[in-house]
Structure 1
Amino acid sequence: MHLTLTNATILRPDGWAQDEITVDGAVLSDQSAPRRVDLSGFKVLPGIVDIHGDGFERHLAPRRGAMKDLTAGLVATEAELAANGITTATLAQFWSWEGGMRAPEFALRFLDALEGYAGLGTDLWVQLRLETHLLNDFSRFEDAVARYGVGFVVFNDHLPHEALAKGKRPPRLTGQALKSGRSPEAHLAMLQDLHARAPEVPAALTGLADRLRAQGVLIGSHDDRTAVARAEWRAMGVALSEFPETREAAEAARAAGDPVVLGAPNVVRGGSHSGNVSAAELVMGGIGDALASDYHYPAPRLAALALDRWDLVSSGPARVLGLADRGELMPGKRADLVVLDAAGRVGATIAGGRVTHLAGEVAARFLA
């Protein structure tokens, strides 16, 4: 593609400007092209870099086990991403004891499908979310990270430790068991075994984190609740704090210089759906490097507009991910941009110089 977008209000690194911008192949240029598209009345902003999103799950397997070929689901995922201005997407896939779409076997199916997927232009990345007590699977997990070139790993712990420590039957046990293909009794026994291995976890995670970092993998923790927990993760070499649940944990991460990722749905809802700290309040207090879609792809755009902080969905997450070639509308950067109307709706998304979404009046102007 070689065209110049003219008469738009463009978000540059130093602020808004009435300007023009040229897409020259896969990059941005300051040299005008013969073909020009008048975008008077519209805004042009950097494409959204989504650092964590699991909304793709609804497309890959809308009914448990129903989809054998995941490719069509990836096409639908990319269409939804583009319709929401997302040009770089990190698909957050579980590697967990929980079964179903969170099972290691499904993760490998997903990685295979993504490796063979010829996308429409959106840059699709993977975050693998490893359950910390799944010790017997660490070797297979590490092999998958190397085999598929996964550059981002997050450590999760979803075990119901409190119930297990008291010898109680955890909530939602039967549903989890059915999802995993186990009987409730077998599932409970597995949970008890995993819980019992807790003393082994810190040393095993430290070793795994060391090996992953040696491969250049970015590693994060998930749902930090205390400053002590954040310090423990940092001591293991786990630098990024994803979705801290309390102000204490978030402030500890910021004080140590650890990148902090917050949930955009939390901002859009006006607070956490589970009673955790308000992401908007953290941002207003100077905490937060990136807003992530989490489970809702429209959320990054809506949250960034509400906060008037587009950097939290563009240059911020790009910096955390080490992607120096995107996140800003500057000559030489990757041609990732989104065109918004006065109401903040997406009229066009261009990813890597390729149109991935086009609608409404913007479409009429592009096609004139």
Structure 2
Amino acid sequence: MTPLPDLRLVGAQVLTPEGLGDAPLTLSGGLIADDSPSCRDVDLDGFLILPGIVDIHGDGFERHLAPRRGAMKDLDQGLIAAEAELAANGITTAVLAQFYSWEGGMRGADFAARVLDALDHLQDRLVTDLLSQLRFEISMLDDYPAMQQLVAAHAIRYVVFNDHLPHEALDKGKRPPRLTGQALRIGRNPERHLEYMQALHGRMNDVPAALDGLCADLLANGVLLGSHDDRSADARSAWRGRGVRICEFPETLEAAEAAQRAGDPVILGAPNVVRGGSHNGNVSATDLVTMGYCDALASDYHYPSLRRAALHLTDSGLLDLAAAWALVSHGPARILGLTDRGALAPGLRADLMVLDARTRQVCATISGGCVSYLSGEVAARFLR
């Protein structure tokens, strides 16, 4: 993609690492540059310019890949539509959280491979920087080698470990809730699906040792590792012992506190902040942010929540705008090792959003100096 010609954005309030200010922001060659009077000026009076959002974990793209059950044939167009939604919400870098799970269907291994193939094929046509995360179910012992091959083939930089098996029901020999509907949705016989779950559950004693080796191999290849839905300090400690340092969506204060105490980055869900609490009774993300136990917010399943959560934290007086916005820009960028973005400073990528100061509507998104979204009055000003 060809970046915009050199521009100087003037008249707006610009959020830099030092806070909001009215100094011009210059874009040159896809980067933030030192001010230059030779650039064409774009008057953005009445608007805010904020660092582009870095979404460290989101699965909202799934809605575009399968708008109706079974309609999953043209993944390219689905990913293009997902990019449009990301851009309209000020997201300039997005990590697509793709399942690799015994649950099958859109969460199965075959579908994961299709999505990753489509994403690789599309990269040259995208403006938003789309990265991939693999969410791997630890009970799938026979799939450990295949998962590693998939990670290597697609240069996946981030793997998160899940365990969604209903162990309590399986321990008691009960039929897990919603099993029949889940099986039929993916085209699997319910009894065969139950047998598969029981077989995975029966081998859980072999998982810890296998995980030790898997994590060591992935770390040796430079892959970032995270755990999902930690419930206790002991669980976080066990993951940390394997080099799994990122703590995604801890379900309890105990787990989040243990991660923070050990210096493990904590990622929380922006929808939890917007809702004012967890939809399933877990610890409040707002409470954890207030206690300083949050390094980044993620869209989880709802892209607009990233912007809304950061602004809500500011409006509530819990954080100033710079600190709140860092949770959706600088913080996630640092966790991912993306040192070239996350703030508006000379030499960094020109990743930014333009926000209407009154309505707080996203009016423009620029990723790497290229326009990914442009609307309304701001569009008119850019095109003059």
TM-score (structure 2 length as normaliser): 0.95
Q: Provide the C-alpha distance between the structure 1 equivalents of 2:276 and 2:229, rounded to a whole number of angstroms.
A: 19
Counting only pairs closer than 5 Å after superposition, residues 37-76 of structure 1 correspond to structure 2 as 37-76=42-81
Instruction: Report the Cα offset of residue 64 of structure 1.
Output: 2.7
Assess if the C-alpha contact under 8 Å between 1:264 and 1:293 holds in 2. yes
Structure 2 residue 312 is the aligned partner of structure 1 residue 306: yes
SS of the residue 1:291 aligns to = strand
Q: Provide the C-alpha distance between the structure 2 equivalents of 1:106 and 1:300, rounded to a whole number of angstroms.
A: 27
What do the CA deviations read for 1:136-187 (whole angstroms, capped 9, x no partner)? Answer: 0110000000010000000000000000000000001001111332111101
Instruction: Report the Cα offset of residue 31 of structure 1.
Output: 3.1
* Counterpart in the other structure of 1:157: 163
* Counterpart in the other structure of 2:349: 334
* Counterpart in the other structure of 1:367: 383
Which of the residues 88, 107, 112 maps onto 2:117? 112
* Counterpart in the other structure of 1:18: 22
Assess if the C-alpha contact under 8 Å between 2:31 and 2:347 holds in 1. yes
What do the CA deviations read for 1:266-316 (whole angstroms, capped 9, x no partner)? Answer: 000111000111101110111100000000000110001111300000000
* Counterpart in the other structure of 1:319: 334
Instruction: Report the Cα offset of residue 6 of structure 1.
Output: 0.5
Question: Aligned partner of 1:105: which letter?
Answer: D
Runs of 4+ deviating beyond 6 Å = none
Q: Provide the C-alpha distance between the structure 2 equivalents of 1:14 and 1:178, rounded to a whole number of angstroms.
A: 54
* Counterpart in the other structure of 2:138: 132
SS of the residue 2:117 aligns to = helix
Q: Provide the C-alpha distance between the structure 2 equivalents of 1:63 and 1:99, rounded to a whole number of angstroms.
A: 16
* Counterpart in the other structure of 1:34: 39
Q: Provide the C-alpha distance between the structure 1 equivalents of 2:25 and 2:242, rounded to a whole number of angstroms.
A: 44
* Counterpart in the other structure of 2:228: 222
Unaligned runs of 5+ residues in structure 1 are none
Instruction: Report the Cα offset of residue 121 of structure 1.
Output: 1.1
Question: Aligned partner of 2:351: which letter?
Answer: D
Q: Provide the C-alpha distance between the structure 1 equivalents of 2:144 and 2:69, rounded to a whole number of angstroms.
A: 26
Amino-acid identity (%): 65
Structure 2 residue 361 is the aligned partner of structure 1 residue 345: yes
Instruction: Report the Cα offset of residue 334 of structure 1.
Output: 0.5
SS of the residue 1:62 aligns to = coil
* Counterpart in the other structure of 1:94: 99
Assess if the C-alpha contact under 8 Å between 1:99 and 1:179 holds in 2. no
Q: Provide the C-alpha distance between the structure 2 equivalents of 1:222 and 1:344, rounded to a whole number of angstroms.
A: 32
Assess if the C-alpha contact under 8 Å between 2:298 and 2:306 holds in 1. yes
Counting only pairs closer than 5 Å after superposition, residues 182-201 of structure 1 correspond to structure 2 as 182-201=188-207
Instruction: Report the Cα offset of residue 19 of structure 1.
Output: 1.1
What do the CA deviations read for 1:339-366 (whole angstroms, capped 9, x no partner)? Answer: 1112221010000100000112111211
Instruction: Report the Cα offset of residue 209 of structure 1.
Output: 0.6
Instruction: Report the Cα offset of residue 14 of structure 1.
Output: 1.3
What do the CA deviations read for 1:4-58 (whole angstroms, capped 9, x no partner)? Answer: 1011100010111111111112111013243110011111010000000000000
Unaligned runs of 5+ residues in structure 2 are 315-323
Q: Provide the C-alpha distance between the structure 2 equivalents of 1:86 and 1:362, rounded to a whole number of angstroms.
A: 17
Question: Aligned partner of 1:337: which letter?
Answer: L
Counting only pairs closer than 5 Å after superposition, residues 228-267 of structure 1 correspond to structure 2 as 228-267=234-273
Q: How many residues in Structure 1 have an aligned counterpart in Structure 2?
A: 368
Q: Provide the C-alpha distance between the structure 2 equivalents of 1:238 and 1:268, rounded to a whole number of angstroms.
A: 28
Instruction: Report the Cα offset of residue 67 of structure 1.
Output: 2.7
Instruction: Report the Cα offset of residue 62 of structure 1.
Output: 1.3
* Counterpart in the other structure of 1:8: 12
Instruction: Report the Cα offset of residue 119 of structure 1.
Output: 3.1
Q: Provide the C-alpha distance between the structure 2 equivalents of 1:246 and 1:360, rounded to a whole number of angstroms.
A: 43
SS of the residue 1:19 aligns to = coil
Instruction: Report the Cα offset of residue 367 of structure 1.
Output: 1.6
SS of the residue 2:22 aligns to = strand
Assess if the C-alpha contact under 8 Å between 2:352 and 2:366 holds in 1. yes
Assess if the C-alpha contact under 8 Å between 2:24 and 2:35 holds in 1. no
SS of the residue 1:116 aligns to = helix
SS of the residue 2:68 aligns to = coil
SS of the residue 2:209 aligns to = helix
Which of the residues 361, 364, 370 maps onto 1:354? 370
Question: Aligned partner of 1:332: which letter?
Answer: G
Assess if the C-alpha contact under 8 Å between 1:48 and 1:87 holds in 2. yes
Q: Provide the C-alpha distance between the structure 2 equivalents of 1:325 and 1:333, rounded to a whole number of angstroms.
A: 5
Q: Provide the C-alpha distance between the structure 2 equivalents of 1:26 and 1:120, rounded to a whole number of angstroms.
A: 15
